[in-house]
Structure 1
Amino acid sequence: MDIGIIGAGAASAAAAYAIHRDAPDAQCTVLEKSGGVCGRAATRRRDGRWYDYGANYLKDDDERVRSLVTERLETDGLVSIDEPISVFDEDGTVGEGRPTTERKLTYRTGLTQIAKRLFGETDATVNRRTKITGINRDDGRWRLTDSDGEKWGPYDKLLCNPPAPQTARLLREADWEDERRDALVEAAESVEYRTVWTAVLGYEFELEVPYYALVNTDKRHEIGWIAREECKPGHVPDGESVLIVQANEPWSVERYDDDPAENVAKLARLTAEVVGDDRLENPTWTDHQGWRYAQPEDGVDRDAFEVAERAGLYCLGDWVAGEGRLHAALRNGLETGERVGRSIPTED
């Protein structure tokens, strides 16, 4: 049984893990357009520093995902963030957040370790820098074409992990004349996304504040989130700070294509005002990333997906789960992989 997987996000990694566990003879081929894995749970390395510049951590309040990460996968390097999350309002006034018992998890070398460890438990072949641009359904099997014109497949089953707009575009243009395709495209196109522009600010001093992160709860400030990577063991050398600053949706949409240096400088000034430290206006080094499809705003009608799965086509990811969080993507991947595994006939 040959299975094609478009995208190497967290859901794909979890699905490949579940398929390998339940149907070990199935062959999974993963086709990822970027050079990394784990999608928006992304990590970069810079001169001995690690920073998660997309999803910031993994919540441990989903029992299945917590068990997977803390018991079934290799736990070496798994760390928790002990400092709390505080809040700030439209005026930049900082206050204490709600008490919580949830753990915030990551790895010493970043969140991408989740996908790397999941794929490492399988026989899946992960092909990076391979952008799929065409899907064809022929004789009951799936064939793919990448941006270089190379053909992939045929596959008995196909899993699609890109964000909903990209999945909708692929399926809309697919050579698959079927009413199930139209229903699936309509469902995927209905998902709205939040756009986020992120600045990474590095400093040669460590902030002396009691919190790990600040979140804008009234959603009226230009900044939505500020997080300190130095609170993650192993990420930042002692005596330094690395801040992940995510702009809010209106700011991100308006300035998405503006000069990155100007965007970073604006966010650094705003960060200095919120934190109350003028030194933050002048970072030692910076990085940035725009996430046009950062987080889905809501879920989708699952009926269209269930019908498509009868043709061997599975959509997966946080947008299918209806919650733009890493744990939701992982759980959806596990559940999707289990359905795929159950659909594969066992050999007597």
Structure 2
Amino acid sequence: MKSIRIAIIGAGMTGLKAASTLHKVGMDVTVFEKSRGLGGRLASRRTDFGHFNHGAQYVTARHPGFAAYLEQAASHNAAQNWKPNLHRGDIPAMQSAGNLALDHWYQGAPQMNKLISPLVDAFTIHKQHRITRIEQLDRKSFVLHDDLDGEFGPFDGVIVTAPAPQTAELLRPLSARYDAIGDVVTAPCWAVMAAFEQPLPTAFDAMLHPSPAISWAARSTQSDDLFHRRRPDPWVLHASPQWSRDHLEDDKDRVIENLLAALRDVSGVKLPQLHSVQAHRWRYARTEQPLGSSHLNGMNGRVIAAGDWCLGARVEAAWRSGQSAAHAMIETLIG
């Protein structure tokens, strides 16, 4: 029987979940990723003294399938439970103690991008390939074009898992079916990665919505020992959606200055000397208004849009969307 060839655009949680599912049923899967690494916003940046989880900070599971996936990842040492001392914005900082979260929090082990490890299999992954156009050859086949004049295919089906605006740009030329992606609303996020020469002198390891400028701040390492923390002490700050919109085009130095000042104000302590500091802008960080369905298909079910933006702003939503998109492709091509 002729092999069924599937192209998947994006190697984040959605794309890799779809790729893994389709590969397991015998399809010939090729993944195209514009970046150098895998995981999308499950991102970590390495330094000479450790790593920064500068994208998603933790994940939770409410769907039984994703809960089982996290247990599988933990059994392979790719995930670990995380229970930081948490400061919430509605509680005075010096009174914060323990983790008041209702859900179990998980992080990748030893960094967030390891969460996708159980999904990476013997299918082909092309890194640093930005797909710019999908060409329809006939009702059943498609060719992909990248920004370096590369051409790939033909493929029997395509699943696009890029952020909603980029997915819409790729798919709208194919069919008005994909116009609904334009209703999705996403928010940007500025992230600052600051390493302090001495541990930040607080009783908490993370702050949730501490100020209008900062939606999240957390130590980027796990430690239960308040007195023997790693030096340098790495922290990740996420600006709030509105602050990020208001300062979207600011230069990185100005963003760093303003967010460190906000951290000093909300923590109530003098910030130690900086060892290093960087900033990263996520243009499409958080879904504020999702599509409302797990995926969107068209072109006789052979071109499918998927991503966390379909269901909501959670890593679990990305996993579920990838699974749903893969099952829809299987139904179309195998029945």
In structure 2, the CA distance between the partners of 1:342 and 1:74, relative to structure 1 (3 Å rule), is: farther
Match in the other structure for 1:81:
82
Match in the other structure for 2:199:
206
In structure 2, the CA distance between the partners of 1:103 and 1:210, relative to structure 1 (3 Å rule), is: farther
In structure 2, the CA distance between the partners of 1:304 and 1:85, relative to structure 1 (3 Å rule), is: closer
SS of equivalent residue, structure 2 residue 289: coil
SS of equivalent residue, structure 2 residue 281: strand
Counterpart CA distance in 2 for 1:309 and 1:327 is 27
Counterpart CA distance in 1 for 2:136 and 2:277 is 45
SS of equivalent residue, structure 1 residue 297: strand
Q: 1:289 aligns with which of 277, 280, 296?
A: 280
Match in the other structure for 2:255:
263
Q: 1:326 aligns with which of 309, 315, 334?
A: 315
Residue identity opposite 2:313 in structure 1 = G
Residue identity opposite 1:133 in structure 2 = T
Counterpart CA distance in 2 for 1:246 and 1:72 is 26
Write the deviation string for residues 192-220 of structure 1: whole angstroms up to 9, x where unpaired: 11111111110122234343321127xx6
In structure 2, the CA distance between the partners of 1:328 and 1:101, relative to structure 1 (3 Å rule), is: same
Cα displacement (A) at 1:229? 1.1
Counterpart CA distance in 2 for 1:211 and 1:279 is 14
In structure 2, the CA distance between the partners of 1:84 and 1:327, relative to structure 1 (3 Å rule), is: farther
Query: Pairwise mapping of residues 293-304 of structure 1 onto structure 2 (< 5 A)?
Result: 293-300=284-291, 302=293
Write the deviation string for residues 65-97 of structure 1: whole angstroms up to 9, x where unpaired: 1211212675224322122432125xx953659
In structure 2, the CA distance between the partners of 1:47 and 1:127, relative to structure 1 (3 Å rule), is: same
Match status 1:8 vs 2:11? yes
SS of equivalent residue, structure 2 residue 296: helix
Q: 1:221 aligns with which of 202, 212, 223?
A: 212
Q: 2:306 aligns with which of 303, 316, 337?
A: 316
Work out the percentage of aligned pairs sharing the same amino acid. 24
Residue identity opposite 1:325 in structure 2 = R
Structure with the bigger RCO (C-alpha within 8 Å, sep 6+) is: 1
Match in the other structure for 2:70:
69
Residue identity opposite 2:318 in structure 1 = A
Counterpart CA distance in 2 for 1:183 and 1:334 is 21
Structure-1-length-normalised TM-score: 0.86
Cα displacement (A) at 1:61? 3.1
Relative to structure 2, which stretch is displaced further, 65-74 or 29-38? 65-74
Query: Pairwise mapping of residues 8-157 of structure 1 onto structure 2 (< 5 A)?
Result: 8-21=11-24, 23-24=25-26, 26-71=27-72, 75-88=76-89, 93-94=92-93, 96=96, 99-119=100-120, 122-139=121-138, 140-157=140-157
Gaps of at least 5 residues in structure 1 are none
| Residues 184, 309 of structure 2: 8 Å contact kept | yes
Match in the other structure for 1:187:
180
How many residues align? The count is 326
Counterpart CA distance in 1 for 2:217 and 2:48 is 22
Write the deviation string for residues 225-277 of structure 1: whole angstroms up to 9, x where unpaired: 111112369xx973442111111123212222222112112111110111111
In structure 2, the CA distance between the partners of 1:73 and 1:201, relative to structure 1 (3 Å rule), is: closer
Counterpart CA distance in 1 for 2:315 and 2:294 is 24
Structure-2-length-normalised TM-score: 0.89
> What is the alpha-carbon root mean square deviation over aligned residues?
2.5
Counterpart CA distance in 2 for 1:72 and 1:169 is 34
Gaps of at least 5 residues in structure 2 are none
